[in-house]
Amino acid sequence: MSGLTHIGPDGRARMVDVGDKAVTARTAIAQGRVDMAAETLKLALGRDTKKGDPIAIAELAGIMAAKKTSDLIPLCHPLPLTSVKVNIDAIESEHALAVTARVKTSGQTGVEMEALTAVSAACLTLYDMLKAVDKAMVIGAIELVEKTGGKSGDYRKAGS
C-alpha cells in the first residue's frame, strides 16, 4: 500500500498535503457512455421529453458535478476550476450516447476526479431523464483518457 498517496504510514486514510507542489496548468479528459434502445436514442436526440432536453440537462449536470467533486469524493481537494466542458454525442450505429468532459485548472493537484465525476453525473442524468421509456440502459466505459500537468507528467490512454 506504500504507493497509495491517500493511505498514511499507519494505514489510515488521509488527504494528501499538496502545499509544497508547484502550481501548474492542469487538464483532464474523461469519457463514458450510455447504451440504450434505438427508440430511446431517437427520443434523446429529439431533445424534448416530458422532463425536458435530456442532453442539455445532462451536460449541465456534469458541469455542476465537476464543481462539487470535493463534496462527493472524501479525499479530493476543492479546486478552483477554470473551465469545465461536457459534450454528449450520439453513436447512432451503437444506439449510445458518448459523454466527454474536459476540465482545467491552475493548481497544485490534478483534475482527473473532476472530469470523471462530470462524466458519471452526466451519464446518471441521462439515465434519469430517459428511464421512463428504457430501464435497461447501461452506463459504462467511464475512464480517464488524458491528463496534463503536474509532477507525474502527461498521460494519454493508448489508442486515444
**Paired sense of beta strands 96-107 and 155-156, if any:** unpaired
Whole-angstrom distance, CA of residue 45 vs CA of residue 65 = 23
How far, CA to CA in Å, does 144 sit from each of 97, 117, 119, 120? 17, 11, 10, 11
Catalytic residues: 128
Quote the CA–CA distance of 48 and 52 in Å, as a whole number.
Answer: 5
